């Protein structure tokens, strides 16, 4: 058998084998097996795409801004005597506390993200409940309609709202023709437009976790409640809603976390008064070229977002342990 035939048969055997089989062989040679093999892939993924970039940003946040390239100083330097010196600059974090601009940006970002998350929950819960209670042959179609907007560019979908909200846009034209208003409404470059854009964009991230939770609820519980005289509304608040709390938390985190750092939607639909931390990061990185301050802003935002997520996770784990 020729070498070319051997190579082709080897490659063919690899790709014909189940993915887990050849992945197991590859990681097994490195030293992973059993339980370590299961957590190896997500651990490596988080290490490469989260921890290492986080450490790089943390390093930049402790440096000083420079005009040269790169626009930040090195933390480790050798002096004239050949001794290694470590210079840590915590002034970037003190600067964020002293300057009210950053505090206002943080608070405004959390306010907009929280209100948008609440609206996503109020709109997404009935939709997820309806899909979960629909016949099985219709669920895939309804889920496809939820996911369908993702097939279009995110930027294009947000930009299309300008055509609805501008003074001579579709909404104002329809209201003027119906005689409901006498002059165009100011909707573009307002907080209202930002809320609509965020809710429209992140609504599927709320619906999908809720659906996956609601579809697993056993209808026998509702039937037992009805047999005991429980009304549908009482059964919902006593059974369905408490059991769907994990889905509510997961969907809220999927909406809240990216909405806090949103940049595109406030830039296109918001006005100059719509100050969010994503815009501040953009200005610090690209306009002011102050990478250390921008990195400090990122680190603080990440810590503030991770702490409640860790608290919620520990709370859920403790509740599972007690049950």
Contact 204, 146 (CB under 8 A): yes
Whether pTM exceeds 0.75: yes
Q: Residue 313: give its domain's CATH number.
A: 1.10.3720.10
pLDDT digit string (tens) for 57-102?
A: 999 999 988 887 788 888 877 777 777 778 888 888 988 888 888 9
| Residues 6+ positions from 162 with CB-CB distance below 8 Å | 169, 188, 268, 269
More confident residue, 27 or 118: 118
Residue count (the chain): 323
Asked whether residue 127 is assigned to any structural domain, the reply reads: yes
> In terms of residue numbers, what domain contains 248?
90-322
pLDDT digit string (tens) for 116-174?
A: 999 999 999 999 999 999 998 899 999 999 999 888 889 999 999 999 999 888 999 99
Asked whether residue 21 is assigned to any structural domain, the reply reads: no
Contact 239, 223 (CB under 8 A): no
Asked whether residue 23 is assigned to any structural domain, the reply reads: no
In this prediction, residue 14 has a pLDDT band, given cuts at 50, 70 and 90, of very low
Choose the weakest-confidence range: 72-76, 288-292, 309-313: 309-313
Contact 269, 193 (CB under 8 A): yes
In sign, the C-alpha dihedral spanning 272, 276, 280, 281 is negative
146 is written with which tokens? 């939820």
pLDDT digit string (tens) for 179-197?
A: 898 899 999 999 999 999 9
How many domains does one find in the chain? 1
Asked whether residue 83 is assigned to any structural domain, the reply reads: no
Asked whether residue 1 is assigned to any structural domain, the reply reads: no
Asked whether residue 315 is assigned to any structural domain, the reply reads: yes
Asked whether residue 185 is assigned to any structural domain, the reply reads: yes
Q: How far apart are CA 92 and CA 61, in angstroms?
A: 7
Asked whether residue 133 is assigned to any structural domain, the reply reads: yes
pLDDT of residue 28 exceeding 90: no
| Residue in 293, 273, 274 with CA at minimum distance from that of residue 283 | 293
- CA end-to-end distance (rounded Å), the chain: 62
């Amino acid at each position: 058998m020729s070498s070319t035939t051997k190579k082709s048969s080897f490659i063919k055997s690899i790709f014909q084998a189940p993915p887990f089989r050849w992945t197991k062989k590859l990681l097994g040679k490195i030293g992973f097996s059993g339980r370590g093999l299961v957590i190896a892939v997500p651990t490596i993924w988080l290490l490469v795409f989260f921890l290492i970039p986080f450490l790089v940003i943390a390093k930049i946040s402790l440096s000083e801004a420079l005009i040269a390239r790169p626009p930040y100083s090195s933390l480790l330097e050798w002096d004239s005597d050949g001794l290694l010196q470590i210079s840590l600059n915590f002034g970037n974090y003190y600067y964020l506390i002293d300057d009210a601009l950053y505090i206002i940006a943080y608070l405004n970002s959390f306010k907009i993200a929280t209100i948008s998350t609440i609206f996503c929950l109020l709109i997404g819960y009935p939709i997820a409940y309806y899909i979960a209670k629909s016949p099985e042959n219709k669920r895939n179609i309804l889920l496809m309609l939820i996911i369908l907007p993702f097939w279009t560019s995110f930027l294009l979908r947000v930009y299309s709202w300008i055509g609805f909200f501008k003074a001579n846009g579709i909404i104002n034209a329809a209201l003027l023709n119906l005689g409901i208003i006498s002059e165009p409404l100011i909707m573009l470059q307002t907080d209202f437009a930002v809320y609509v854009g965020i809710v429209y964009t992140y609504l599927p991230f709320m619906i999908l976790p809720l659906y996956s939770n609601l579809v697993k609820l056993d209808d026998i519980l509702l039937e037992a409640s009805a047999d005991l005289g429980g009304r549908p509304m009482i059964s919902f608040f006593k059974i369905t809603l408490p059991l769907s709390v994990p889905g509510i938390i997961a969907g809220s985190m999927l909406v809240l976390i990216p909405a806090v750092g949103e940049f595109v939607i406030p830039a296109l639909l918001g006005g100059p008064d719509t100050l969010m931390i994503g815009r501040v990061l953009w200005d610090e990185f690209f306009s002011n070229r102050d990478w250390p301050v921008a990195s400090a802003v990122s680190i603080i935002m990440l810590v503030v977002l991770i702490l409640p997520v860790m608290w919620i996770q520990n709370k859920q784990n403790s509740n599972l342990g007690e049950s």
